Structure 1
Amino acid sequence: MKQLVTGLMLILTIGLSHAQPTTDTLQMTLPQAEDLFHQHNLSLLATRLGIDEYRAYQAQARLFANPAIYIEQMPYNQQSREFMPLAQSNSEQVIQVQQLILLAGKRNKQMALAATNTQLAADRYEDLIRTLVYQLRSTFYELHSLRESLQVYDQEIGTLNQTVTLYQQQYDKGNVPLKDLARLKAYLFNLSTERQQRLAQIADDQSNLAVLLNEPPTLVIQPVLTDTDLSMERNPARLTLDSLLAKADRNRPDLQAYRHQAKSEQQNLALQKALAVSDLTLQGTYDRNAGYIPNYFGVGVGASLPFFNKNQGNIQAARIRTKSSQQATSAYELQIEGEVQSSLLKARQADQLYRTFDQHFNADFGRLIDGVTLNYRKQNIDVVEFIDFFDAYKNNQIQYIQLQNDRLQRLEELNLAVGTNAFSN
């Protein structure tokens, strides 16, 4: 019976091992992630096709109106009783050719409007890149921070597990009290719970990063920060608000989209006014057996008379949209000024706090906690002091990692607000 149970457990274990999805791990720097993002992101590929769509509309606006032809043939001659007569003496044919001539510069105005709409689509594409690149970089830094924190928890839990095992043995021998062992196990459980929370956040960031890079969710990405990412040369205290506002004015594609939208409304207003002007229709006519003379040729000009419909409603609506877009642009300019000012302030605060943190303190604290662990196992310090030191070490490590991540996040928010690298010339 025991052999049967063992065999079933073995089969179940093999089955579960085959059922688990295989995962691949890939170390990746931020430049590598950005290259992959630009090549494979589905949202970018879809939006890029939208620009081609508006270019097609722009090409359509350059085309002239097609000429129209009208042919009339006598189907039956009642006098000669012939069907579809073609002889000169007993048939009648009429041929007319018409060509529409747009006046008031309608074609040029349509072309200008189509060109602005194409530029507007390009602005939205660039703004999508700006937003998604920020999400990529922010998620990349956040995932790196979480994995660094996870290493701290793994190190502490591993050390604490050894200590709990030794204390369990001493408790079984009656050498240590139960309350000390319970305190250690409670703290170990607390560390494991915090670690589990980090794992859940890592799973979310991993999923988001896989979507941004259009990679399978089974690919485990391990972010690697370079010296460029951690460089202290990027000091927001050296930046001035005026220079950043000037950069945002030039580089924010969403602001350019507002401006091109206002320009588009102005061009539409000009087009609506031009549509109030009647167009000309040139016509040439040939009549084989006209009532006046045979083989009649005539030239005519036609135009609608704008007595009732002068496109008044569309012109008024275009005026309203023009004013509305201008006001919206002004409001958005003020919003961007606020975003740049706020992001600069937060970047300076995060950078200053990070610079005040003694990075050598971590190494000293690490050596100290090793000594504390050894003295606790020798029972030179009690469990309360040991847990206090252990918790302080954990908090110190996590705080340093969080400060580093906060600085990187605030710098990325500043780049997002400016629309480009805030530290570039």
Structure 2
Amino acid sequence: MQLKFVRPIFLINLCLFSSIGLLKAQDGVRDTLRIDIKQAEELFIKNNLSLIASKYNIDNAKAQVITARLFDNPQVGFENVLYNPDTKKFLDMSKDGGQQAANISQLFQTAGKRNKNIQLAKIGVKQAEYQFFDMLRTLKYTLRTDFYKIYFQEQSAKVYAKEINSLAKTLVGFQQQYAKDNIALKEVLRIQSQLYTLQSELNDLKDGIDDVQSEFKLLIRTDARKYIIPTLDFNLDGKSVLQQVTYTNLLDSAYTNRYDLKVSQSAVDYSNLNLRLQKAMVVPDITMSVTYDKQGSYIKKYTGLGISIPIPLFNRNQGNIKQAKIAIDANKLAVTQQQEQIQSDLDNSYQSADRLERLYNSFDPKFKTDFNHLIEEVYKNYQKHNISLLEFLDFYDSYKTNTIQLNNLQLNRISSLEQLNYITGTHFFNK
């Protein structure tokens, strides 16, 4: 009689211990970093490499302004006789027989070309700054959504861990009852199957959390071995957050504060100024020069003042002027398209956030507490054999499903508010 129980119990114990060992390996001892959203943003602003690299682009653009301010260098020339046939000397430098000539010239730009180049470079600085702040907006959105995703997925992981721990204890009890021939093997296997399913789902959830953790740690540049534990200091239960700001204000804010839109608008300014510059390029620049010739001219020690101006007869910069006009039209169209895209994105995100807010606020605030109490009573009743195994497992599965759905709903609601912040370029919500 004892032999027929040995092998099944051995296999069950082996599987159980392997599963528990797997969970312990997953939750191995690691350094943890407890952090709230404000602390995360401070570390992000201070340490993020992408932001630091983007600041160099601003410095580079400012250097272009310095370059645009500089005047053209003067040109200096000197000429000496190579061979004097009278004195039969090479490079004759003598007082009477030598011949030298020298000249100095300076280019003077006309029609405000230098000024216009300076203004173009200053617009380039603004664009670099706008691009920096747009990158800041995008990365901060990723940081905040990752933060909340880690938090709520960890809450779901706790549900799995609690259910796995409970079923593991139940499985041990079933093994003992099976050894005494009080229950059938199929009941043991049913518990065991449910346990394996939960462990597999938890493992998948942990993999997802690790991926988000990895991205989050790169954003704030903390030790890759640390495990992030987010802490929340606000509660949205029963609050109508969207009622704080009107839709019109959100749209106006997006038009005013979106730095990617400012980049597009500055491109129009750049194109307009570039058109003025290209038209100015038609006006010839002037080169002034002073020449000295020792004895090669009609008089000795000749000194002359010269001026040269190219004649815009064939090349009047027609191609560049046409390109500049086309660029203005193209950039204006890009601004209009981006404004329409912002309006479309805002409307879509606002409707989604409104639905999620209404759905979440429709839940009874006591639902979660009551459900937790109910599952504890279910476990007690099962131990007293007041309910069947199938009822017990169904209750547990329902508890897990509802709790995880509630966590996901909270995550989706907060993420939708963060999406509105991202689209409008503000911090209306989740301050």
Q: TM-score, normalised by structure 1?
A: 0.91
Q: Is 271-280 or 291-300 further displaced after alignment?
A: 291-300
Give the alignment of 1:317-356 within 5 angstroms.
Answer: 317-356=323-362
1:246-299 deviation per Cα after TM superposition (whole angstroms, max 9, x unaligned): 111111000001111121122222111111221110111122224322222211
User: Is the counterpart of residue 121 in structure 1 residue 128 in structure 2?
Assistant: yes
Give the alignment of 1:16-415 within 5 angstroms.
Answer: 23-227=30-234, 230=236, 235-415=241-421
Is the 8 Å Cα contact of residues 33 and 227 (structure 2) preserved in structure 1?
Answer: yes
Alignment partners' CA distance in 2, 1:88 and 1:22: 93
Q: Residue type of the partner of 1:207?
A: S
3-state SS of 2:298 partner: coil
The Cα of 1:385 is off from its aligned counterpart by: 1.2
The Cα of 1:196 is off from its aligned counterpart by: 1.1
Structure 2 unmatched ranges of 5 or more: 1-27
The Cα of 1:382 is off from its aligned counterpart by: 0.6
Q: Residue type of the partner of 2:283?
A: V
3-state SS of 2:181 partner: coil
1:386-417 deviation per Cα after TM superposition (whole angstroms, max 9, x unaligned): 11211121122212211211111011000000
Q: Is 283-292 or 162-171 further displaced after alignment?
A: 283-292
The Cα of 1:87 is off from its aligned counterpart by: 4.0
Alignment partners' CA distance in 2, 1:72 and 1:402: 84
3-state SS of 2:294 partner: strand
Is the 8 Å Cα contact of residues 22 and 218 (structure 1) preserved in structure 2?
Answer: no
Counterparts in 2 of 1:357 and 1:232: CA distance versus 1, 3 Å: closer
Is the 8 Å Cα contact of residues 23 and 219 (structure 1) preserved in structure 2?
Answer: yes
Q: Residue type of the partner of 1:78?
A: P
Counterparts in 2 of 1:108 and 1:233: CA distance versus 1, 3 Å: farther
Aligned to 1:15: none
Q: Is 118-127 or 167-176 further displaced after alignment?
A: 167-176
The Cα of 1:83 is off from its aligned counterpart by: 4.1
The Cα of 1:108 is off from its aligned counterpart by: 0.8
The Cα of 1:97 is off from its aligned counterpart by: 0.9
The Cα of 1:242 is off from its aligned counterpart by: 1.0
The Cα of 1:80 is off from its aligned counterpart by: 2.3
3-state SS of 1:294 partner: coil
Is the 8 Å Cα contact of residues 237 and 365 (structure 2) preserved in structure 1?
Answer: no
3-state SS of 1:300 partner: strand
Is the 8 Å Cα contact of residues 251 and 424 (structure 2) preserved in structure 1?
Answer: yes
Q: Is 348-357 or 85-94 further displaced after alignment?
A: 85-94
Instruction: Please provide the CA RMSD for this pair.
Output: 1.9
Q: Residue type of the partner of 1:177?
A: A
The Cα of 1:183 is off from its aligned counterpart by: 2.4
Q: Residue type of the partner of 1:237?
A: Q
Alignment partners' CA distance in 1, 2:94 and 2:162: 106
Q: Residue type of the partner of 1:73?
A: N
The Cα of 1:233 is off from its aligned counterpart by: 5.6
The Cα of 1:84 is off from its aligned counterpart by: 3.5
Aligned to 2:428: 422
Q: Residue type of the partner of 1:328?
A: A
Counterparts in 2 of 1:198 and 1:238: CA distance versus 1, 3 Å: same
Q: What's the % identity of the aligned pairs? A: 37
Alignment partners' CA distance in 2, 1:376 and 1:207: 41
Alignment partners' CA distance in 2, 1:406 and 1:74: 86
The Cα of 1:58 is off from its aligned counterpart by: 1.3
Q: Is 70-79 or 187-196 further displaced after alignment?
A: 70-79
Counterparts in 2 of 1:150 and 1:423: CA distance versus 1, 3 Å: closer
3-state SS of 1:187 partner: helix
Tell me how many residue pairs correspond in the alignment.
404
Q: Residue type of the partner of 1:343?
A: S
Counterparts in 2 of 1:22 and 1:356: CA distance versus 1, 3 Å: closer
Q: Residue type of the partner of 1:147?
A: E
3-state SS of 1:125 partner: helix
Structure 1 unmatched ranges of 5 or more: 1-20
Q: Residue type of the partner of 2:335?
A: T
Is the 8 Å Cα contact of residues 288 and 294 (structure 1) preserved in structure 2?
Answer: yes
1:186-219 deviation per Cα after TM superposition (whole angstroms, max 9, x unaligned): 2222211211111110111111112212233212
